[in-house]
Amino acid sequence: MSYLIRLISIVFSSSIVLYGTASLGLSATEVAKIAKAATVKIEGDNSQGSGEIIQQQAGQYFVLTAAHVVQNSEVKYAVVTSDNRRYPLSPSAIQMLPGVDLAVVKFTSDRRYLVPKLGDANTATEGTTTYVSGFPSGTEAIDVSIFSFTDGKVTANSSRPLKDGYSIIYSNSTLPGMSGGGVFNDRGELVAIHGKGDVDTKIQTSEINPNIRVKTGFNLGIPVNTFQQLSAKIGLNTGIKPIIATKTPTTDDFILSGFERVSKSDLAGSVVAFSKAIEVNPKLVTPRFWRGSCKLLMGDARGAIEDLSAAIAIAPNKIEAYMYRGSAYAKIGEKTKAIADLDKAVSLNPRSDVAYGNRCALKFNLRDFTGAIADCNRAIQLSPKNSFYYSSRGSAYYQLNRYREALNDQNIAIQKNPQDKILYLSRGLVKNSLGDNNGALSDFNIALKSKYNPQITSEIYNTRARVKNELKDRRGAIADFTESLEVLPDNSQTYFFRGNTYYEAGNLLAAITDLDRAIKLNSKFVEAYLLRGVVYNDTKNSREAIEDFNIALQLNPNLAAAILSNRGLSKFDLGNKQGALADFDRAISLDRDVPKAYYYRGLIKVSSGNKQGAIADLQTAAKLYSARKDNQKYQLAIKKIAELRRSK
């Protein structure tokens, strides 16, 4: 949405109220008093942010905040001060600054509010202490918004800001609602406006719950220097001479460049930028951590482990590094090391819902569903409003066939975050398992209203197609599989599923074409060989069928019973009754619930004169077909038995 920038002229008088500070650093308690007095809450109709009083003139106060906090011209905003007084804002009292995510709002009051001193953001170098103040939005646990003050360290301060003016990165914990709040140094000076919170990076760990989420612990702010430079250009006068940055490009510039590329999903570019920072200063933890995390997202798990291990060597208490490294170990099959890293993250901060949530996701990936539920329980206790934890626990219940509990959790997850459409996919899977196929289709339809990466989009189409297939909607299923292939063209699984649907619809030539494609994409796709062999049998291409069954048997001997029963049929059709009988005997010895083997072995016994043996096999086949609700083949077996009993 585009918003008209109203440029108004504000003249500040020289009679300003500043909080004087000593040249030495203040205690955290002293800085908190300054921040609490100067920080305001900015309320919208259905939104909330923060701001900092920066000037006062004859009862009129000016507040600096992030532009996105007050950007909606149709919303009525109000400032709530430290004494809990509420001052409505008219549209003319809100002024956006051009080119940056900053805005100035003004309100009038006969009360006196503290104005903090503006500091020089250039002095906020890596490792210096920072404090962030603001009013987080209410949560389920704490349903009112209360002042929050957190400490941290500057991670990087670039001389080349991003397009919205962001250039300072810091490690303070922040929450939604704190945008627009102040970033203070240890002298109680306002050096930046906080605008962007922890980056929430996602790493695929499973099919049912596709994301593991790790808070990076890095936040972005806009220096007050930027505000001072811009304010003079549009008629604002802070009464303080703007401080012009004189910094030359440093590692901070490379770090911020890498950070920006991460936000744009340019992972390869991020690795290049962080590598340059490491070349300049190999002892910095930030570029090591980020390069490792980017490598992990790019699929280079071993490279990620190397970088993250280096980051941990520099900063042994960095829990995010353990979380990422744990995921990397899981991807290369190092289960023990993976769990050890997540255990370490939990031990470093037993109050971290993120640590428990990620260990839950990791245990899920390692198929420890009971352990995953226990960790999700703890994460929910610590953060009861987080829909991800309910969905993760629901997915674990789903894997344990505890469908009612799974459905309850997925309902709660959607209730808490109805805009996250991927949650509907998880609930749809549960509904499908409970036999509510129409409800499942409704959820999948909602899930497809959002955009995802190609893998997830393809999976949603495939899942919806399989449900349509269960409802005998072959045409709808084939259409969904085709949509899936439009999104992800080289997915052998999708070709297999569509080929199977064509087979069930009676289009055998189309089925073979799809199965050919699946095998071409994955030469070890045993199920595709098995199904293509079955289709070849139905088209009387018995020799081609035997070739496919031989390959399938070599690839996966564990499927021998199904493969041999079908290969026996191919040999039977070719007149090789002895070879067929050997395959049927072996199939039955491996699995006594294969009706096809009994049926055709019965026919062979008929031809050899073993009438009673034939009837016994056909009766077993009929019983098994009946249990599978395959009425057509059941009737064939019953008819053959009747014929044998009538014969002399």
Q: What is the pLDDT of residue 208?
A: 33
Least confident segment among 34-38, 71-75, 86-90, 324-328: 71-75
Q: Backbone phi, then psi, for 385, in 5-degree steps?
A: -95, -5
- Domains of the chain: which residue ranges? 120-348, 355-450, 452-518
Which tens digits make up the pLDDT trace of 537-596?
999 999 999 999 999 999 999 999 999 999 999 999 999 999 999 999 999 999 999 999
Q: What is the pLDDT of residue 143?
A: 45
When pLDDT is cut at 50, 70 and 90, the band that residue 264 belongs to is confident
Name the residue among 207, 200, 204, 152 with its Cα closest to residue 176. 200
Dist CA 485 CA 464 (whole Å): 14
Q: What is the mean pLDDT of residues 270-285?
A: 90
Same fold, 120-348 and 452-518: yes
From the candidate CATH numbers 3.30.43.10, 1.10.3720.10, 3.40.50.80, 1.25.40.10, the one assigned to the domain spanning 120-348: 1.25.40.10
Q: What is the mean pLDDT of residues 30-51?
A: 89
Q: Which CATH superfamily is domain 452-518 in?
A: Tetratricopeptide repeat domain (1.25.40.10)
In the predicted structure, residue 599 carries a pLDDT above the cut 50:
yes
Class of domain 355-450: mainly alpha
Q: What is the mean pLDDT of residues 52-80?
A: 89
As a whole number, the mean pLDDT across the chain is 86
Q: What does the DSSP assignment read for 157-209?
A: E-SS--TTS--EEE-----TT-TT-EEE-TTS-EEEEEEE---EEEE---SSS
Which tens digits make up the pLDDT trace of 388-441?
999 999 999 999 999 999 999 999 999 999 988 999 999 999 999 999 999 999
Buried b (16+ CB within 10 A) or exposed e, 90-111: eeebbbbbeebbbbbbbbeeee
* pTM for this predicted structure: 0.69
The alpha carbon of residue 494 and the mean position of all alpha carbons in its chain are separated, in whole angstroms, by 23
Dist CA 518 CA 521 (whole Å): 5
